[in-house]
Structure 1
Amino acid sequence: MEEDGLAPPDYETTFDACPRYEFYANSAPPGRRKVRPSLDMLRNAEPSVFHVLGSSHDSSTKDGEDKDVEADEEPETEPVRFGWVTGVMIRCMLNIWGVILYLRLPWITAQAGIGLTWLIIIMSSIVTSITGLSISAISTNGKVKAGGTYFLISRSLGPELGGSIGLLFSFANAVAVAMHVVGFSETVKDLLVETDSIMSDPVNDIRIVGVITVTGLMGIALAGMEWEAKAQVVFFFVIMVSFVNYFVGTLIPASPERMAKGYFSYRGDIFLENIGPEWRGETGSFFGMFSIFFPSATGILAGANISGDLKDPAVAIPQGTLMAIFLTTLTYLAIAATIGSCVIRDATGSINDTLGAGNFTGGECAGLGCNYGWNFTECTLAGTCEYGLANDYQTMSMVSAFSPLITAGIFAATLSSALACLVSAPKVFQCLCQDNLYPLIGFFAKGYGKNQEPLRAYALTFILAVAFILIAELNTIAPIISNFFLCSYALINFSCFHATITKSPGWRPSFRYFSKWTALFGAIISVVIMFLLNWWSALIVVGIIFVSLAYVTYKKPEVNWGSSVQAGSYQMALSHAMSLSDVEDHVKNFRPQCLVLSGPPNFRPALVDFVAAFTKTVSLMICGNVAEPHDSSCAENYSEQLRWLNARKIRSFYNFITTGNLRAGATSLMQVSGLGRLKPNTVVLGYKHNWQTDSPQNMENYVGIIHDCFDLSVGVCVLRMRDGLDVSRTVKAQVNMGFEDTEGAIGRERQRRETFKVVGSDTHLETYFQGNQKKKNIDIYWLFDDGGLTLLIPYLLTRRKRWSRCRVRVFLSSQIANAEEHREEIQSLLNKFRLGFNEVVVLPEIMWRPEETRSVPVDKPYPLVLHTFLQKRFHG
């Protein structure tokens, strides 16, 4: 018994279960989960039940495990899991060390200068570091499953923003595949040009090589995460060798061939010349260079994107991500500084362009090469130089000790980054599809194999990547994805900020090195940079976010992830409710806050619909149910009743109370329903049709409820319909039967769960007030001055679209002598009320003594007497 966690130690006398790791389903691994005994079991069961429960649970579990083992002699192996080094740090570093590092960083250094290039790198690192801190906090606040960035944001901010970022981030990673593959293809194209092996033309060669490359990467990805991880380790080793090769090359004295291409080893005047910017071309601006460089810093999420394949995401993501940001930032700064100190901006590449070679005819020699005996004046002034930092994308290869190693590094960096994005995009998209937030994408949710590989999502990613590879222009593709990643960073930082300020008890990240203000700064700076980079692209991204957010908000998917948005809504509601408590009521702000004695709301839909027609978006509505004692079905069906209200688009709360007396239960509901100023001031109940045949006790309860309302200073509204209100014709157990033609003040049987769906109901009654009321009459018999509620409710009804075409008529009682004067007086009063009621009818006959010809049977209820009287008056 103790082994099963169902019994405490011997020195305790309780039957409560001791705390066990296996009781928590989100923490215990499959096969070790157990269920703690419920309160009903602890309160009602005999001690022997616990022995039986424990032994049966244990034996069934063991038997089940034995059967499984026997049935499968070779049980399925566990999925491959990675630690923080191979799973996150190396993956992030490889994704950051992409095509931009080798092919564009020297060119950016030539355009922006060493100083502004460092600023660009540091700005990017600040954004990514703040985002890294935020994602570390989010990833350590509970268990992280598959889905990466989408999972983290959606479970933090909810499905509305989470779904939007899932779409954007999946698309951005698919486009990033194309960016890295195009960078690889450009290098291959340059090699083909050098060897005079062009297949078609330079642009088409990039396309051909790109399509072949992404197909090969697709094969590696489909082989499984284990093979993909091995390939990443190989790529990492190759890149490290290429870095060593580059830095060694900067120390080797320059040969004439390298000088002709602009390399003169470390020189102070070269450093000073290259410290400042020299903008060239259409993209020649600070933010133009930033937009091209920033995608290289977006690899920080590569590790988080495979969160489902990590051994311990809460440890691996913070350690691996932050370490990767630090090391790669140092690498970028070092390469920008070293290459800017060794290579001039313009060179011809011709070994004959020396000052002593007879090609200098006099005049001033332009350019820094003149200081070292080289004349690059002609191409510098004409802008036709082919080498130098500003012209040659392969400058790092020229500087290195052995250029093929740089080429291998380019291949490894571009292919590893492309492979990481090729793996990330399908996994994020698969998680989004599994949540079923958007239509027509469920097809891509299916997984295959022990790792549940998203093969269908892989195919979609492959198609998108090929489509963008066909652009074949790296500088065009890079800015496209910058804003997508920046938007992701903004939402990640905002998620961390929002979760912190809502002060939810569930926000307990084990990673403490973050601040809500740095997270907010990261979110704001990400949005600002989006618009500075490319304002129209930023508008498109924001537009996509709002459209997808509006769609999910409208559809209201049935998911509950405990997001910070829910915590924020609670905090705001509590704050506003508390602030209302300090505000005195004023007649101008009066709203009919209704407690509807409906019983189960689905039993009397017409009553609920009618009240909802004038309270929706205007005031409070609570559906109340008085049930018999020990009726557990009310608690069981609570959620179903709320879903029924939501399905009918009725903005109402639902509350129930169990008691043996209808009147006492109704009075208790009046007193305890609501919160602060948000409490009922009007009670709405159904008309009692069987008042002539029901027992005196039930009649006394019904009338007594009305008197209790007056005692509590609560208004009363009674709704009467010819066919009654109750539509649950086949249900035996009904609640609040004192309002309908059924014996007993309270139903004698429990309401069953299956009665939530009304069987054999009257469809006309069920939808009576849901349709368009067209041009009907709303007749107000303002016979007695009740303070204005009789006038206010029809006015609120006519504000609704389905009631707006109805004509409102006000009927008054008056003496014949002053009937017209009284009508004008009331008409003037109604005009001051600004209700829009323009038809006032005076009924002086109401004041007359009944005559023989006008009398009606006195056994009819008063409303029917009045109705018959009016029919005789107006229709003869």
Structure 2
Amino acid sequence: MEERRRRFSTAQQINPDTLKVIKRAAARLESIVDEEGEETAAADKEPYMRKQSIQNKFTAKLGGLALFKDEDEDDISMAAGGASFISAYTTPGPKERATSAKKKANLGVMFGVYLPTIQHILGVTMFIRLFWVVGVAGIWHTMLLLLLCCACTLLTSISLSAVATNGVVESGGAYFMISRNLGAEFGSAIGILFYLANTVATSMYLVGGVEVFLLYIYPGITIGGEAVHSDTSMFGMMSHNYRIYGTILLLLECVIVALGVRFVQLLAPVSLLCVILSILACFAGGIEKAVVGDGQHVCMLEDHLLNSRILNLPPGEDILNICNYCKKGDHIADQFCEGNTTTEVCQTYTGGSLKCVNAFPGFNSALMHANMNPKYMQEGQAVEREPKADRSREVFQDVSTSFFLLLAIYFPAVTGIMTGTNMSGDLKDPQRSIPSGTITATLTTSFIYYALAILFGASIIGPVLRDKNGKSIDGSLVVASLSWPSPWVVIVGSFLSTFGAALQCLCSAPRLLQSIAKDNVIPMLAPFARVTKNNEPFLGLLITTGIAELAILLGAVDAIAEVLDFFFLMCYAFVNLVCALHSLLGAPNWRPRFKYYHWSLSLAGAFLCFFIMFASCWYYALIACFLTMSIYKYVEWKGAKQEWGDGLRGLALTTAQYSLMKVEDKDMHPKNWRPQLLILVDGKYSKEMIDLRSLNLLNLAGQLKAGKGLAITVAFVRCSSTRSNVQENRKKADEIKDRVQQDMGQARLRGFGKALLYTESQMEGCVSALYQSIGIGGLRPNTVFLNFPRMGDSDDHHKEQRIFADQLCCGAQNDNCMVVVKGITDFPRPNDRLRGHIDIWWIVQDGGILMLIAYLLQQHKVWKGCKLRIYVIAQEGEQNEEMKHRLQRHIYMLRIDATVFIVNMIEPEGVEDDAVQKTLNMEQRTRTLMKKNLSALSNGGLSNGGFTPDERFQSGRNSPNGNTLAVPNTVCRPPRDKEDNNDTVSSNEISIKDIDDTKVQKMNAAVRLNQVILEYSSESQLVLLSLPKPPKSIQALVENYLSYVEALTEGLPRVLLIGGSGKEVITADS
């Protein structure tokens, strides 16, 4: 039996090695397609969605799979079916895959990530500041400081590795990964900060190079002479030297970068080699000094380190012979006493002992123990807890020091972890190279920093470690004096490293700016997207040079480093945040392959970044946050054109879902009631133009934004009922939806726009379904805005009246607050300012909804100049004064400023005749409508067999769940009397005896109220009236109700007719 069983398929397990081969083949195939230009146009038009919009690919050519093909789809080539099926999602770069013919360098971990990252991290700060940090903070505090810095970069490297392994990274580097995960707004903000970080880093490296050159290589060219080397205040002469020579170096590097990136890359290996040799020379010097037991000596007066200049060494004398001159004698006495032996300085000299001390004894545990504790000092001090030093004779601190100041100064030395990520386009396997290379480089540099800190603390005495500028050793670099075989190894190496690092930053920053500009999210950056014929961003280079010059004007490495910190820290913080967000929100597309990642590490990294920012300099941190938010709001204001599926939108969706689940789907407390608006506009809305009535309705809804409620605008779009026009109808609806949202923005109405398609026979069901289904959970519209229809006799007017009747009838029976706007074309626009009165005619008890709507309108600048007046209709026999007093107290308790008037209605002459005539006109109009309806039904134009005439709209209070309305086949269908089926309209003549007395009474009430309202409110800016209760029958509403309302509001320019459901109770409670 088994042998005869037919086989329909075979299964074979894919070997993992084979899978890797197939993936590489798929990647090669994909690159070939790009080179041939077959997919380039699609990538440029719809970059991010290119992969998502592609048609389904089949894994084999089988007839059975035709089930999954679209009817109009042609046969798909299966040449690379297997490869394309298993190829991972590719994340494109700016313009999502630039059409460049340049072949990838296919760099590996070592040369693509590890060595470039090492080169960028190990810079001049390590040589000119680390020894000073150890001397001031002590070894223990330095270990803690390095722990904070290195932990911050290590945690960020882990997050960066997770991002890099979450899909294929092709090009765009760190900015691309951040922006595509953070979204257009935050991505642009962090991208700008990352660009500024690279630009300001250029300035820091250049000023550091100038410091090395002027202090240690060629001090003779210092403007003002060597005597100004200690004048490092903001406007000191040495700071001016940094500015002048830094500017010269910047212009030189600008010219070099303008020649092309290839010339810059030639200096990278030279710079890295110099750094490595310098570090090895430091370790060799520490060992050599310990073995030989002799190093550079310094002269000290008690525990005060003296400036070697006061010893008056002969010209050309080697500083190694300093001990021959560190003896009390006339040449030193003259420096301290200056002919007056009674001064405190002179007495200190004469009473103290002058000694020559070995400053570099080499590595030993006793010296290491002595340098363990911190020695934080104020500016001008030479020894801790002592008065300020004599600046002309002693070595002193040029800045007040603290742990967090040193942290801010040294943190730039650990930055540069994104160098490998920036080279992602040239990596052979970015998913493997970026994590391993970046983390290994971070650990390596951390080890080097720790080793150097221990080496300095155990090989150099504390006073010399605190001699930042080497004044005690004739202006030599302290680290260079430790090195072996020659101090020039470190001096030349540190200078070349600064020059090379500055070139790298000045080269990468304009390209980063170009990537941001090409994304087209910040319009003002558009010019910087252009490149020269050699693909060089020349305009970006110019603006980068200008910004770098501004940073150079800060005048010192320490000042620039403090600013630079915050640009890098903000960037690192948001890399960590986005990873934590993706993990905590459980984003389906967040599947990083990096197995050592955990969301807690990202959260700790983000916290550490913000901690360092605010602990180091809280006002700089606030400025960085303000700058980030300013760019965010600017992009949001301009309207971000890119949608990258970012983590922050995922956070917004998750937060919204959580909040909606917390809001119970039941009637809210009156204190929490606010108008949640549903604005219904007619089908004349189109892509090219909008009916002024609809636009003014949006403006009016926008003026109610003080209610802080939901706003949904629905445009009813009449469409063809044929199935062949489905796509055309959908496209039309999308265009109208976009126009609705655009005009909502113009009206400053924040909310959602929708377009609802309907056919002639679907209108009633669409309106009912809309009321019952719109919203979600407890967040549902409770207030409906409608335009009162035009009361003409044309077919268009009759259709408009019918649609209005459907909307009003269904809305009222759905327990919504109905706001009918009459005279909408006369309502003010957002920039108008009105003065006068807003009159509330309180005819029926409605819980105070009229007062609440009037109050909310009054909060808007359009109506703020208007005062509220409340008119109450009194019945005969009521005590007016007592009623007025109670109402005034009630309004006072409601905290609404308004004037109350009691109006007694009288029966004026001629009103009844006018009411009778209006009733006759109404009946004549009803007969005309009946004729047209009968004619349409006989021609089948408006027939709908699915509807039965006697079905009714049932209230949701009687439905099983108490929250929905039963929807019959016909909703709000007018009832028919038994004799209606046999009625035929034979004549247009109507006599008074044929008129129903009830209709005359209603019309009489409308006319009387209208005359009273005109008497008091004809000059008012706005009149709010209680909406007469609409009939349950739509036919009665169209035939009679509209005429009553028209008579009620005749002669009033702007009217809001408001009908509450009884749930909108304005309360006096707090």
Q: CA RMSD in A?
A: 4.3
Q: Secondary structure at the match of 2:784?
A: strand
Deviations 1:74-99 (A, max 9, x none): x9544767544333322221121100
Tell me the CA shift for residue 128 of structure 1.
0.9
Tell whether the 8 Å contact from 1:95 to 1:413 is kept in structure 2 after alignment: no
Describe the shift of the 1:21–1:826 C-alpha distance in structure 2 as closer, same or farther (beyond 3 A). farther
Describe the shift of the 1:464–1:815 C-alpha distance in structure 2 as closer, same or farther (beyond 3 A). closer
Matches within 5 A, 1:694-843: 694=795, 703=805, 705-721=807-823, 768-772=828-832, 774-818=834-878, 820=880, 826-843=887-904
Question: 2:490: which partner in 1?
Answer: 406
Describe the shift of the 1:859–1:170 C-alpha distance in structure 2 as closer, same or farther (beyond 3 A). farther
Question: 1:433: which partner in 2?
Answer: 517
Describe the shift of the 1:443–1:870 C-alpha distance in structure 2 as closer, same or farther (beyond 3 A). same
* Equivalent residue for 2:160, pick from 135, 141, 166: 135
Question: 1:240: which partner in 2?
Answer: 276
Tell whether the 8 Å contact from 1:616 to 1:650 is kept in structure 2 after alignment: no
Tell whether the 8 Å contact from 1:400 to 1:406 is kept in structure 2 after alignment: no
* Equivalent residue for 1:869, pick from 1006, 1011, 1018: 1011
Question: 1:477: which partner in 2?
Answer: 560
* Between 536-545 and 521-530, the greater mean CA deviation after superposition: 536-545
Q: Secondary structure at the match of 1:675?
A: coil
What code does the residue aligned with 1:801 have? Answer: K
State the distance in 1 between where 2:222 and 2:839 align.
89
State the distance in 2 between where 1:608 and 1:544 align.
34
Tell whether the 8 Å contact from 1:397 to 1:404 is kept in structure 2 after alignment: no
Question: 1:112: which partner in 2?
Answer: 137
State the distance in 2 between where 1:710 and 1:324 align.
69
Tell whether the 8 Å contact from 1:86 to 1:233 is kept in structure 2 after alignment: no
Deviations 1:149-195 (A, max 9, x none): 4444333333443333333333332222222223223333345448x
Q: Percent identity?
A: 26
* Equivalent residue for 1:50, pick from 74, 82, 85: 74
Question: 1:359: which partner in 2?
Answer: none
Mapped pair 1:609 → 2:699: yes
Question: 1:487: which partner in 2?
Answer: 570
* Between 537-546 and 698-707, the greater mean CA deviation after superposition: 698-707
Describe the shift of the 1:517–1:408 C-alpha distance in structure 2 as closer, same or farther (beyond 3 A). same
Describe the shift of the 1:810–1:47 C-alpha distance in structure 2 as closer, same or farther (beyond 3 A). closer
What code does the residue aligned with 2:1011 have? Answer: F
Deviations 1:627-654 (A, max 9, x none): 3344322145433332332233222323
Question: 2:314: which partner in 1?
Answer: none
State the distance in 2 between where 1:232 and 1:691 align.
82
* Equivalent residue for 1:577, pick from 633, 654, 660: 660
Tell me the CA shift for residue 105 of structure 1.
2.0
Describe the shift of the 1:672–1:429 C-alpha distance in structure 2 as closer, same or farther (beyond 3 A). same
State the distance in 2 between where 1:38 and 1:514 align.
33
* Equivalent residue for 1:639, pick from 738, 742, 761: 738
State the distance in 1 between where 2:463 and 2:830 align.
77
State the distance in 1 between where 2:769 and 2:567 align.
55
What code does the residue aligned with 1:651 have? Answer: R
What code does the residue aligned with 2:421 have? Answer: A
Describe the shift of the 1:710–1:182 C-alpha distance in structure 2 as closer, same or farther (beyond 3 A). closer
Question: 1:59: which partner in 2?
Answer: none
State the distance in 2 between where 1:149 and 1:492 align.
9
State the distance in 2 between where 1:502 and 1:551 align.
27
What code does the residue aligned with 1:343 have? Answer: I
Question: 2:63: which partner in 1?
Answer: none
Tell me the CA shift for residue 772 of structure 1.
2.7
Question: 2:986: which partner in 1?
Answer: none
State the distance in 1 between where 2:584 and 2:187 align.
19
Tell whether the 8 Å contact from 1:109 to 1:340 is kept in structure 2 after alignment: yes
State the distance in 1 between where 2:274 and 2:661 align.
63
Tell whether the 8 Å contact from 2:205 to 2:501 is kept in structure 1 after alignment: yes
Matches within 5 A, 1:458-473: 458-469=541-552, 473=556
Question: 1:63: which partner in 2?
Answer: none
What code does the residue aligned with 1:608 have? Answer: L
Tell me the CA shift for residue 410 of structure 1.
1.4
Question: 2:773: which partner in 1?
Answer: 672
State the distance in 1 between where 2:777 and 2:32 align.
39
Matches within 5 A, 1:436-585: 436-438=520-522, 440-449=524-533, 452-469=535-552, 473-581=556-664, 584-585=667-668
* Equivalent residue for 1:264, pick from 348, 357, 361: 361
Deviations 1:719-773 (A, max 9, x none): 222xxx6xxxxxxxxxxxxxxxxxxxxxxxxxxxxxxxxxxxxxx66x7443435
Question: 2:286: which partner in 1?
Answer: 250
Describe the shift of the 1:290–1:787 C-alpha distance in structure 2 as closer, same or farther (beyond 3 A). closer
Question: 2:965: which partner in 1?
Answer: none
Mapped pair 1:302 → 2:414: no
Tell me the CA shift for residue 667 of structure 1.
1.0
Q: Secondary structure at the match of 2:714?
A: strand
Deviations 1:498-551 (A, max 9, x none): 333333323333334233222222222222222332344334333433444444
Mapped pair 1:619 → 2:644: no
Tell me the CA shift for residue 422 of structure 1.
1.7
Mapped pair 1:661 → 2:751: no
Unpaired segments of 5 or more residues in structure 2? 1-7, 11-22, 43-52, 58-65, 80-99, 227-237, 298-319, 321-357, 378-396, 923-1002, 1019-1050, 1052-1070
Query: Structure 1 length normalisation: TM-score?
Result: 0.76
Tell whether the 8 Å contact from 1:306 to 1:424 is kept in structure 2 after alignment: no
Tell whether the 8 Å contact from 1:182 to 1:474 is kept in structure 2 after alignment: yes
Mapped pair 1:289 → 2:406: yes
Matches within 5 A, 1:585-600: 585-600=668-683
Tell whether the 8 Å contact from 1:657 to 1:669 is kept in structure 2 after alignment: no
Tell whether the 8 Å contact from 1:178 to 1:468 is kept in structure 2 after alignment: yes
State the distance in 1 between where 2:746 and 2:842 align.
36
Equivalent pairs, count: 761
Describe the shift of the 1:493–1:859 C-alpha distance in structure 2 as closer, same or farther (beyond 3 A). farther
Q: Secondary structure at the match of 1:303?
A: helix
Tell me the CA shift for residue 333 of structure 1.
1.7
* Equivalent residue for 1:122, pick from 147, 157, 177: 147
* Equivalent residue for 2:502, pick from 394, 418, 422: 418
Deviations 1:94-123 (A, max 9, x none): 121100222222232233333332332222
What code does the residue aligned with 1:677 have? Answer: G
Tell me the CA shift for residue 707 of structure 1.
3.4
* Equivalent residue for 1:201, pick from 198, 219, 225: 225
Describe the shift of the 1:104–1:606 C-alpha distance in structure 2 as closer, same or farther (beyond 3 A). closer
State the distance in 1 between where 2:867 and 2:120 align.
69
Matches within 5 A, 1:24-39: 29=34, 31-33=37-39, 36-37=54-55
Deviations 1:24-66 (A, max 9, x none): 9999846353774599xx99999686259999xxxxxxxxxxx
Mapped pair 1:688 → 2:805: no
State the distance in 1 between where 2:161 and 2:803 align.
62
Describe the shift of the 1:824–1:638 C-alpha distance in structure 2 as closer, same or farther (beyond 3 A). same
State the distance in 2 between where 1:400 and 1:228 align.
30
Q: Secondary structure at the match of 2:588?
A: coil
Question: 2:981: which partner in 1?
Answer: none
* Between 858-867 and 407-416, the greater mean CA deviation after superposition: 858-867
Mapped pair 1:340 → 2:340: no
Tell me the CA shift for residue 328 of structure 1.
0.9
Describe the shift of the 1:88–1:640 C-alpha distance in structure 2 as closer, same or farther (beyond 3 A). farther
Tell me the CA shift for residue 213 of structure 1.
3.9
